[in-house]
Structure 1
Amino acid sequence: MSVSPLVWGLTIAGIVALLLFDFFFHVRKAHIPTLREASFWSALYVGIALVFGAGVWIFGGSDPGAEYFAGYVTEKALSVDNLFVFLVIMSSFKVPRADQQKALLFGIVFSLVARTLFILVGAALINTFAWVFYLFGLILLLTAGNLLKPESEESHSPDNLMVRLARRVFPATDVYDGDRLFTVKDGRRVMTPMLLVMVAIGGTDILFALDSIPAIFGLTQNVYIVFTATAFSLLGLRQLYFLIDDLLDRLIYLAYGLAVILGFIGVKLILHALHENNVPFINDGEPVPVVEISTGLSLTVIIAVLLVTVVASLASAKGRAQSTVSAARRYAQEYLEVEHDPQRREELFVKVCAKERDLGELPEKYRTRIHDEDKLRALLRRVHEEHDRSC
């Protein structure tokens, strides 16, 4: 599919316009999005992505259209998995709920810029070295293996290299000043934790790009489709965060589903590399007659795996128990941190009490598996003590 410079320019202008609209009409004024607001804008951005994909299918053909949808669905699924890490970062830095939108939008913009650079580099490597497909396939297979390893919130440290460098270069305060990046303390300009949050998100976005870009290049080598599928998967991610943050812990099998998808794409890449082989020590530098996986089959497998993963997660009793524990801990921590917003505190206290009742109704086998149960119980007692004092 050939794309003219005019179409490229209009596409980039449209994506930039959507990001600017998001900032000036939603993020600029700090607030907590309502469920209705998050649902509406999440659905709208998904709708825009689907309409764009339909346009690719109509004007570019069925193969490019299928490649776009396969890439979009894969990148969207990887983005949802990344939201869990964003949640860990927000909790670790104790970002006020109303100010989280700005940090998320920065993460989306930084991720889009970083992935665009990776796309350009990846396309240049593919055009120059056919063996790059072997490398991309190996990266995806290794990533799939790592996703199968059990992990917890503690495995996602927000204190990455970029955060440590930022702390050394700029003096920092532990107190937020709204959503400002810098503030004045004792007559000196210092960095707020908000800037550190953005640096932490930016650092993790680079790692995410190392997985996602080889994955989408395994589905299509058309740079325009790779770029647009990646961009539209990121747009609306901020709204999706507020829409499903209570469900993230329920998706306990998402990592396994992503491992299957990345492993599948990794095999597809290696088969393609064998089909185009020119590496001297493989089949004397001649192409290997292997069966290649079609784009239609790829799209079918990706959608089927995600459907099975999501349904199995939502139907899982273990998932419901894990979600209850995580939500109780998160609501309790936020209650103790929100000191100057009585209305928000009361809303959180109601949620804490509801989750506390749910904890008491968990089957014994799940209650005994609660990580740091004593700390959780102590946290809940502190919430009740604080609430009793404020009444």
Structure 2
Amino acid sequence: MEINGWTWAITIAVIIGLLLFDYFVHVRKAHTPHIREAAIWSAIYVGLALVFGLVFFVFGDTQHAIEYYSGYITEKALSVDNLFVFLVIMSSFQVPRDYQQKVLLFGITFALISRTAFILVGAAIIEAWSDVFYLFGIALLLIAGQQLKGELTGDKDGKDEADNVMVRAAKRFLPASDEYNGDRLTVVKNGKRLITPMLLVMVAIGATDLLFAFDSIPAIFGLTQDPYIVFTATAFSLMGLRQLYFLIDGLLDRLVYLSYGLAAILGFIGVKLILHALHENNLFFVNGGENVPVREIPTEISLLVIVCILIITVVASLASPKGRALRALQNAERFAHRYTELGEDAPEQERREAAALMDSWTQRAESVPQKYREDLIEHKDRYSRIIRTAHESRLQAANAAGVDAPVSERIVDQDGPTV
């Protein structure tokens, strides 16, 4: 398949069109996407990405097709990991739920712009100095090691992404408001223009996107050196990330071993890059400046390894005791909150079904070992309050109706809930 100026122009136009469609159709009116909406649009964007890869097969360009799919899957996995940090940032700034998708779309747009710049710079460096693959490989190995160390020691760098240098600079030089004003970026108070927390959270996410590019771009250059494949794989991996956030909301936290999987993928690609650098070696102090006769890892094998690592990571996360414990704790809070949100005019059948789910997950949460409760419940007071309020409401409703309610005394005990 010939990749020329027209190919680039059409591709960029399609990407920009998809972004504009998101801005003017999806986030123009603030709302929280329902599961059905998120699922449909996630499927559409993933479908577009997969169909795009098939175009290479249609033109008989099997090598580029495999490189594209390898890059897309890797970048998608890294993008999902980025959602964890976006969630932390939005929680730190207490972004209203209805405005979160606008913040996410800004983050995706900024990531696309910043990574495009990194791709162009990376391609130019590779063209001028092929031994840069040594640096890319070492960088990925260091990132993988740092990520693994953070998981093993429980210290994930402890960096407060919501209080980075750019945010502090914005607060210092620009007067800021403490309150949101819809989704506006600035507001006028007492004749003075102030920036809102909405602008600050976008600054925080933009700064974080720059950091993500340092592991994202070297990783995909380890799978393909074609700038067009790198760009399209990166762009399609970012498209639909907003809908995916709302679709797998809650599941993100249950992927407890995702960081291990990503560390393995980055480490694998780092080794692949160093092998490629050795094979194309020009450094005088390595083998006298001659190519080192090492076997490179084929892209087909890379694709297989990446897919296998991700499958093992997801299955292990969801099936592990820690993953099951987190699911029980999350659902206990989720269904308890849902029960308290029922209106007084809610049908009795709906109320019974909601109560049954709440009771069932509460019992499962009670059986979670103490070590997991301490490790997994971040805001214990808030969690306990939600559970207690819901069960007290359930008990009051049952007493008013003159029936027995299957409420655990441990949940409504005066000393506080045990879960």
TM-score, normalising length: structure 1:
0.89
Which amino acid counterpart does residue 121 of structure 1 have in structure 2? V
CA contact 1:249–1:326 (8 Å) conserved in 2:
no
CA contact 1:329–1:376 (8 Å) conserved in 2:
no
In structure 2, the CA distance between the partners of 1:327 and 1:201, relative to structure 1 (3 Å rule), is farther
1:204 aligns with 2:208: yes
CA contact 1:246–1:327 (8 Å) conserved in 2:
no
Alignment of 1:269-348 (within 5 A): 269-325=273-329
Q: Aligned-pair distance for 1:361? A: 3.5
State how far apart, in whole Å, the 2-side matches of 1:313 and 1:41 are. Answer: 26
Q: Aligned-pair distance for 1:369? A: 4.0
Alignment equivalent of 2:163, drawn from 159, 162, 172: 159
Q: Aligned-pair distance for 1:208? A: 0.6
In structure 2, the CA distance between the partners of 1:261 and 1:381, relative to structure 1 (3 Å rule), is closer
State how far apart, in whole Å, the 2-side matches of 1:333 and 1:143 are. Answer: 39
- Give a deviation string over 1:24-53, Cα, whole Å, max 9, x none: 110010011000000000000000000000
Aligned residue in 2 for 1:51:
51
Aligned residue in 1 for 2:107:
107
State how far apart, in whole Å, the 2-side matches of 1:5 and 1:259 are. Answer: 36
State how far apart, in whole Å, the 1-side matches of 2:187 and 2:38 are. Answer: 30
1:216 aligns with 2:217: no
Give the total of aligned pairs.
381
Q: Aligned-pair distance for 1:374? A: 5.2
- Give a deviation string over 1:160-193, Cα, whole Å, max 9, x none: 1111111112111111111111112222211111
In structure 2, the CA distance between the partners of 1:154 and 1:221, relative to structure 1 (3 Å rule), is closer
Q: Aligned-pair distance for 1:155? A: 2.5
Aligned residue in 2 for 1:19:
19
Alignment equivalent of 1:360, drawn from 334, 358, 366: 366
State how far apart, in whole Å, the 1-side matches of 2:334 and 2:163 are. Answer: 20
Alignment of 1:362-377 (within 5 A): 362-370=368-376, 375-376=381-382
Q: Aligned-pair distance for 1:327? A: 6.8
CA contact 2:79–2:237 (8 Å) conserved in 1:
yes
Aligned residue in 1 for 2:31:
31
Which amino acid counterpart does residue 194 of structure 1 have in structure 2? M
State how far apart, in whole Å, the 1-side matches of 2:202 and 2:331 are. Answer: 24
Unaligned residue ranges in structure 2 (runs of 5+): 347-353, 398-419
1:241 aligns with 2:248: no
Which amino acid counterpart does residue 248 of structure 1 have in structure 2? L
Unaligned residue ranges in structure 1 (runs of 5+): 336-340
Which amino acid counterpart does residue 367 of structure 1 have in structure 2? R
In structure 2, the CA distance between the partners of 1:62 and 1:358, relative to structure 1 (3 Å rule), is same
Secondary structure of 2:59's partner? helix
State how far apart, in whole Å, the 2-side matches of 1:372 and 1:382 are. Answer: 17
Aligned residue in 1 for 2:234:
230
Aligned residue in 2 for 1:66:
66
In structure 2, the CA distance between the partners of 1:325 and 1:172, relative to structure 1 (3 Å rule), is farther
State how far apart, in whole Å, the 2-side matches of 1:140 and 1:17 are. Answer: 33
State how far apart, in whole Å, the 1-side matches of 2:131 and 2:312 are. Answer: 34
State how far apart, in whole Å, the 1-side matches of 2:236 and 2:75 are. Answer: 9
Q: CA RMSD in A?
A: 3.0
State how far apart, in whole Å, the 2-side matches of 1:342 and 1:168 are. Answer: 44
State how far apart, in whole Å, the 2-side matches of 1:73 and 1:372 are. Answer: 31
Based on CA coordinates, which of the two structures has the bigger radius of gyration?
2
CA contact 1:137–1:267 (8 Å) conserved in 2:
yes
Q: Percent identity?
A: 60
State how far apart, in whole Å, the 2-side matches of 1:129 and 1:330 are. Answer: 54
Aligned residue in 2 for 1:261:
265
Which amino acid counterpart does residue 372 of structure 2 have in structure 1? Y
CA contact 2:337–2:390 (8 Å) conserved in 1:
no
Alignment equivalent of 2:194, drawn from 187, 190, 196: 190
CA contact 2:337–2:387 (8 Å) conserved in 1:
no
